[in-house]
Amino acid sequence: MATLTLHPGRERSLLRRHPWIFDTSVAALSGRARPGDTVAVADERGQVLARAAWSPESRIRARAWTFDPAETVDDAFFKRRVAAAVARRQAIPGLADQQGLRLVHAESDGLPGVIADRYGDTVVLQLTSAGAERWRSAIVGAVARATGCPRIYERSDSEVRALEGLGPETGWRLGAPSGDPVVIDENGVRLRVDVEGGHKTGFYLDQRDNRLLLRRLAAGKRVLNCFCYTGGFSLQALAGGAERVLSIDSSSPALALARESLALNPGLDPARAEWREADVFEDLRRLREAGERFDIVVLDPPKFAPSAAHAERASRAYKDINMNALRLLEPGGLLMTYSCSGGIGVELFQKIVAGAALDAGKRTGAGARILQRLQGSPDHPVDLAFPEGEYLKGLLVEVD
């Protein structure tokens, strides 16, 4: 096994159990290592602190698999880690019975670069690091063994793989398509999931609890759902008794899937749902010019800032949509606003929304306050030593 030696003082983050080792921390690599190979990580004195996956193409030059220098990284290692991650979900009340569930959440489950989401009897796997790529076969086997699911589909097609020097990889790794659409029941609402062509692994499981919150707030309300994708928030609002739900997205395939999901729920009134294919930035302005008003607006946009380098430009985009959404709210209305951008922290996001509320209130004299901070559902845990794992942040804001 090759040994990666750190510059003096650069072992501090490893001692705090942070799994990333950046290129600027690496003093030398002794021995040969191919992308994804396991290397020993040592401080300047030669004391081994961890075993990590080597990634020569990435700024994150290595990702720690284990902080136990004596632990071997092999097939059995992945069986243990995946089984432990699945068991943790089963132990959380309310999660064990969910048909759509994140089973493995990368670094926060001790498996950097590994995402596994279950939709019924199908697991969608996403591998985003050189180490995960190297151990694909072991990971597939571990997921199959821990879940008993007959089908595993790989969706390793995210752009972050290019930073690791990896191309896209997709396909069935276990089993084959059943021939029937993949459908899950989420808190009493049936949802169609496109595991092969949808966003991420097919759906946004991290918003499960926030969708349920909207359902509890929606009775008798006029709801606007922006960046609605396949309508998860929209259908929960309808299930909660919303008077009207207008859902906007720029993707016609996503809206078609949303309509299919609505048809799967005969108890929901399609006359109360309107699906609109449009650019949200432009349509928010059109709605305001048309004098439209809503009781609840949901903003769940795509990732505007994948890293801190994109934060300034992304901040302007977040402020624009939040300002225009706030102007559409009735007095006492609610804004459910989110950012999934890793480059936008919790404090910065609040400042952006506060600035948007100030600008929106200049015309109305209205104020705004945070009723609740929103985050991902508990199957998307955040390791205490890895704050980067807290990518989804949200606010429930009430306006005067």
How confident is the model over 280-295, as pLDDT tens digits? 999 999 999 999 999 9
User: Do 226 and 142 fall into the same domain?
Assistant: no
Each residue's pLDDT tens digit, 196-209? 999 999 999 999 99
| Burial of residue 266 (number of CB atoms within 10 Å: 0-12, 13-18, 19+) | exposed
Which CATH number do you get for residue 168? 3.30.750.80
- Tell me which of 310 and 69 has the higher pLDDT: 69
Smallest CA-to-CA distance from 247 within 221, 290, 276, 267 is with: 276
Q: What predicted TM-score, i.e. pTM, was given to this entire model? A: 0.94
User: Do 175 and 188 fall into the same domain?
Assistant: no
Q: Which range among 89-98, 105-114, 155-164, 303-312 shows the weakest confidence by mean pLDDT?
A: 303-312
Domain C-terminal end among 66, 90, 109: 66
Q: What is the pLDDT of residue 237?
A: 98
Residue entry with tokens 């991650």: 85
Cα→Cα distances 152→12, 109, 112, 122, 358, Å: 38, 19, 19, 6, 48
Report helix, strand or coil for 50: strand
Q: What is the pLDDT of residue 312?
A: 84
User: Do 150 and 43 fall into the same domain?
Assistant: no
Each residue's pLDDT tens digit, 125-158? 999 999 999 999 999 999 999 999 999 999 999 9
Q: What is the pLDDT of residue 364?
A: 55
User: Do 140 and 203 fall into the same domain?
Assistant: no
User: Do 145 and 253 fall into the same domain?
Assistant: no
The mean pLDDT of 165-180, rounded to a whole number, is: 95
Which CATH number do you get for residue 45? 2.30.130.10
User: Do 172 and 220 fall into the same domain?
Assistant: no
> Active site residue: 149, 226, 228, 340, which one?
340
* DSSP conformational letter for 181: P
The mean pLDDT of 295-324, rounded to a whole number, is: 88
Percent of the chain with pLDDT over 90: 91
Report helix, strand or coil for 229: coil
pLDDT band at 318 (very low <50, low <70, confident <90, very high): very high
The mean pLDDT of 261-276, rounded to a whole number, is: 98
pLDDT at residue 365 above 70?
no
User: Do 157 and 203 fall into the same domain?
Assistant: no
Percent of the chain with pLDDT over 70: 98
Q: How far apart are CA 35 and CA 114, in angstroms?
A: 16
Which CATH number do you get for residue 392? 3.40.50.150
User: Do 321 and 217 fall into the same domain?
Assistant: yes
What residues have CB less than 8 Å from 17, skipping those under 6 apart? Answer: 67, 383, 385
Q: Which structural domain, as residue segments, surrounds residue 217?
A: 183-399
Q: What is the pLDDT of residue 303?
A: 85
The H or E element containing residue 395 is: strand 393-399
Q: Nearest 5 degrees, angle CA 177-CA 180-CA 184?
A: 100
Q: Is 149 annotated in the active site?
A: no
Each residue's pLDDT tens digit, 207-253? 999 999 999 999 999 999 999 999 999 999 999 999 999 999 999 99
Residue ranges of alpha helices (H) inside 59-149 are: 75-90, 130-134, 136-147
Q: What is the pLDDT of residue 304?
A: 83
pLDDT at residue 363 above 60?
no
Length of the chain: 400
What residues have CB less than 8 Å from 174, skipping those under 6 apart? Answer: 140, 144, 149, 150, 151, 152
pLDDT at residue 4 above 70?
yes
The mean pLDDT of 82-111, rounded to a whole number, is: 96
User: Do 155 and 216 fall into the same domain?
Assistant: no
Residues β-bridged to residue 22: 60
Domain C-terminal end among 18, 44, 66: 66
pLDDT band at 305 (very low <50, low <70, confident <90, very high): low
User: Do 226 and 312 fall into the same domain?
Assistant: yes
315 — phi, psi (to 5°)? -60, -40
Cα→Cα distances 93→19, 33, 97, 158, 379, Å: 29, 43, 9, 31, 11
User: Do 141 and 255 fall into the same domain?
Assistant: no
User: Do 330 and 342 fall into the same domain?
Assistant: yes
Average pLDDT of every residue of the chain:
95
Domain count, the chain: 3
Domain C-terminal end among 48, 66, 84: 66
Q: What is the pLDDT of residue 1?
A: 94
